[in-house]
């Protein structure tokens, strides 16, 4: 239990600190990078058709805002994230573009949702960071109406997503103190195992669970690559406190490691993901 508490505290500190600030600063790059995955979730919301959508781990709000625009006045899109910096940016974006999306700064694992208040729950890479995923998905189920849909996109393994670990592999020989990724806790690849995902949702009371492979080509401008590679992930977090000489040396090594993905002025890779679907059973309590 203490380990779970410590892990939850670590995640809150991370996303309200260095990681949250980095995602806010890289908002435009990340929005463009993951636009194809966002489009899949928006299509699912409009096809359902959903009326009240909860977007979990919404970050700076791009997917929530896109859903709000798609739903129009007939629906309601609510984004939730525990990162105050990212929720602040999401609210500012909504106000700037006059999109009626709502944003809540809270932990989906413990937030007191209004029971049976949403008919669809979505997430784009936002549900792999719970310290207790069964508790989190049980709590989300209580927020769902009977027969509400769950539709999530998560990463498969790091081995299947070499682009995502390129920076740390390139930097590792030069940064012996670079912390390794945790294989047994919250993190980008925490839902890599299909059976593990199925077991979490089953224990949380969801039904009709389906976990399908999803491979989507994602792109970013070559001009954005250096900022992406040196501001995000384990390398980005390490370099935030590094001296200028170290940052320059690591940036050079990291950039060259991405050469296989660079095609002219575009960087291109395949995101190896799971598309997870489930439903809230009628007897949900």
Tell whether 234 is covered by a domain. Answer: no
Pairing of strands 266-279, 144-155: antiparallel
Residue 141 lies in a domain: yes
Q: Under a CB-based contact definition with an 8 Å cutoff, are residues 121 and 50 in contact?
A: no
Residue 44 covered by a domain:
yes
Examine residue 58 and state whether it is found in any structural domain, yes or no.
Answer: yes
What is the Cα–Cα distance from 180 to 268, expressed in whole angstroms?
A: 26
Q: Strands (DSSP E) along the chain, which ranges?
A: 52-56, 76-81, 102-105, 118-124, 144-155, 207-221, 262-263, 266-279
Domain annotation covers residue 224: no
Reported as half-sphere exposure (CB side, CA atoms, 13 A), residue 150 has a value of 30
What does each of the 285 residues of the chain score in pLDDT, given as a tens digit?
Answer: 334 545 778 878 888 888 888 889 999 999 999 999 999 999 999 999 999 999 999 999 999 999 999 999 989 999 999 999 999 999 999 999 999 999 999 999 999 999 999 999 999 999 999 999 999 999 999 999 999 999 999 999 999 999 999 999 999 898 887 877 877 779 999 999 999 999 999 999 999 999 999 999 999 999 999 889 888 888 888 888 888 888 889 999 999 999 999 999 999 999 999 999 999 998 544
Count of domains for the chain: 1
The CA distances from residue 200 to 36, 148, 209, in Å, are 27, 18, 10
Decide if 241 is inside a domain. Answer: no
Residues 214 and 8: beta-carbon distance below 8 Å: no
Tell me, yes or no, whether 227 lies in a domain. Answer: no
- Per-residue pLDDT of 214-266, as tens digits, reads 999 999 999 999 889 888 888 888 888 888 888 889 999 999 999 999 999 99
Q: Is the pTM of this model over 0.75?
A: yes
Please answer whether residues 74 and 165 qualify as being in contact, where contact means their C-beta atoms are separated by less than 8 angstroms: no
3 state DSSP class of 267:
strand
Q: What is the chain's alpha carbon radius of gyration, rounded to the nearest angstrom?
A: 19
24 within some domain: yes
Strand partners, 215: 272
pLDDT at 238: 84
Tokens of 281: 């059973």
Mean of pLDDT over the chain: 92
Strand 144-155 vs strand 76-81: parallel, antiparallel, or unpaired?
unpaired
Q: Structural domain of residue 124, as residue ranges?
A: 2-158+185-218+270-279
CA dist., res. 269 & res. 254, Å (int): 16
pLDDT single digits (tens) 197-213: 999 999 999 999 999 99
Four-residue CA torsion sign, 107, 123, 130, 29: negative
Per DSSP, the three-state class of 235 is helix
Residue 50's domain is classified under what CATH number? 3.40.50.150
**What DSSP element (H or E) covers 167?**
helix 162-171
């Amino acid at each position: 239990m203490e380990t779970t508490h410590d892990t939850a505290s670590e995640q809150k500190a991370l996303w309200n600190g260095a990681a949250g600030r980095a995602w806010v600063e890289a908002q435009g790059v990340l929005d463009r990078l993951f636009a194809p995955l966002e489009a899949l979730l928006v299509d699912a919301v409009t096809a359902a058709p959903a009326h009240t959508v909860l977007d979990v781990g919404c970050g700076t709000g791009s997917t929530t805002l896109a859903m709000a625009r798609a739903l129009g006045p007939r629906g309601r899109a609510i984004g939730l994230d525990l990162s105050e910096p990212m929720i602040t940016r999401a609210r500012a974006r909504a106000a700037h573009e006059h999109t009626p999306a709502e944003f809540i700064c809270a932990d989906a694992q413990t937030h007191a949702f209004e029971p049976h208040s949403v008919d669809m729950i979505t997430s784009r890479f936002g549900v792999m960071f719970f310290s207790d995923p069964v508790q989190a998905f049980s709590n989300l189920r209580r927020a769902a109406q009977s027969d509400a849909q769950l539709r999530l996109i998560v990463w498969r393994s790091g081995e299947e997503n070499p682009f995502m670990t390129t920076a740390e592999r390139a930097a590792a020989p030069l940064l012996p103190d670079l912390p390794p990724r945790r294989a047994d806790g919250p993190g980008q690849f925490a839902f890599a195992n299909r059976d593990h995902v199925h077991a979490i949702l089953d224990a949380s009371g969801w039904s009709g669970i389906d976990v399908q492979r999803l491979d989507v080509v994602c792109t970013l401008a070559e001009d954005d690559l250096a900022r992406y590679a040196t501001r995000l992930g384990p390398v980005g977090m390490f370099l935030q406190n590094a001296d200028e000489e170290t940052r320059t040396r690591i940036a050079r090594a990291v950039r060259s490691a991405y050469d296989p993905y660079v095609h002219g002025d575009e960087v291109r890779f395949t995101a190896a993901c799971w598309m997870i679907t489930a439903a809230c059973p009628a007897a949900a309590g």
